[in-house]
A and B are shown apart, each in its own frame.
Chain A
Amino acid sequence: MVEWTDSERAIINSIFSTLDYEEIGRKSLCRCLIVYPWTQRYFGAFGNLYNAETIMANPLIAAHGTKILHGLDRALKNMDDIKNTYAELSLLHSDKLHVDPDNFRLLADCLTVVIAAKMGTGFTVETQVAWQKFLSVVVSALGRQYH
């Protein structure tokens, strides 16, 4: 089981409490599709992903980014058992969506970059450490049920 200090819990909760899910979700997913274009393989049904401009203007991608970010709410609310909280989602990504788990890490990195831009100097070293730990646990949990 992952141990969280009070400080880490406070930092993670603070980030989420001021998070604009639509803005950050959209920006993170768009950035992932642009910076790591092979991730577009999972979005064949999402319409026009021809270049960075069309990706950033794509409403289906924007909506999906928001959805993904809300998916992180589950981890936030169950920080002491993220592993089991995501068991079903992990199976979904493995068996139905067939997503290479390395993509979770790629999206997580893009999310970090977007949040860093939003928070500026507020994204302190301590904040980044806690945030990275949280995302690592989420990424690990999402990959756990792959077989």
Chain B
Amino acid sequence: MSLSAKQKATVKDFFGKMSTRSDDIGAEALSRLVAVYPQTKSYFSHWKDASPGSAPVRKHGITIMGGVYDAVGKIDDLKAGLLSLSELHAFMLRVDPVNFKLLAHCMLVCMSMVFPEEFTPQVHVAVDKFLAQLALALCEKYR
């Protein structure tokens, strides 16, 4: 399910539009992940406070969204572009891949909330595919 040229353009365009709100959306998405899917907090047991809306969660959500934006720039070769991030996730973080889907869903919900007009079904499918490809690239070194 690789992205067509048109879908890549759609992704770049939408993320461009989103850039002024990207920190908010990133922070909000991770907050919603730990709230809606509490089992994901298991990866953050080293934080004093992993509750939704807490400072470490918001900060980390912003970090993750930064990584997603970086990936937009590497959309033509995610596997190569995300090699070191993949090694990090494979050998150090070892996040179960199912969680990438859960976070992607929370990101889509936040995008939809903040950009109800722009987040059309066509934009939704392109962004969903992109996030899925991103997750695949992150899992590349897992086994």
Q: Which residues of A contact B (CB under 8 A)?
A: 30-31, 34-35, 52, 56, 109, 112-114, 116-121, 123, 125-126, 128-129, 132
Q: Are A121 and B113 in contact (CB under 8 A)?
A: yes
Q: Which of B53-87 contact A (CB under 8 A)?
A: 53
A-B contact count (CB 8 A): 54
- The answer, among A30, A31, A52, A128, for a CB contact under 8 Å with B36, is A128
Most A-side CB within 10 Å, residue of B31, B52, B109, B110: B109
Question: Is B99 located at the chain interface by the 8 A CB criterion?
Answer: no
Which residues of A sit under 8 angstroms from B112, Cβ to Cβ?
Answer: 113-114, 116-117
Interface string of B18-44 (1 = CB under 8 A from A): 000000000000011001100000000
> Given that A109-B105, A117-B116 are contacting pairs, would A125 and B35 also be in contact in the complex, using a CB cutoff of 8 Å?
yes
- Chain B interface secondary structure, helix, strand, loop or mixed? helix
Shortest CB distance A138–B (Å): 15
Interface size class of B (residues with CB under 8 A): 20 to 34
- Interface flags for B96-139 (1: CB within 8 Å of A; 0: not) read 00000000010011101110100101101100100000000000
Bound Cα distance A56, B116 (Å): 16
Having A116-B110, A116-B112, A129-B35, one finds 15 other A-B pairs with CB under 8 Å, namely A31-B121, A113-B109, A116-B109, A116-B113, A117-B112, A117-B119, A118-B116, A119-B113, A120-B114, A121-B113, A125-B32, A125-B52, A128-B36, A128-B109, A129-B36
Whether the pair A35, B124 counts as a contact (CB closer than 8 A) is yes
Which residue in B52, B113, B119 is a CB contact (below 8 Å) of A123? B113
Given contacts A128-B35, A128-B109, A129-B36, contact A34 B116 (CB under 8 A): no
Are A125 and B53 closer than 8 Å at their CB atoms?
A: yes
| Interchain CB contact under 8 A, A35 and B36 | no
CB-based contact A35/B128 at 8 Å: yes
A132 and B121 within 8 A (CB): no
Given A109-B105, A120-B113: A56 and B35 interface contact (C-beta under 8 Å): no
Tell me whether A52 and B113 are in contact (CB under 8 A). Answer: no
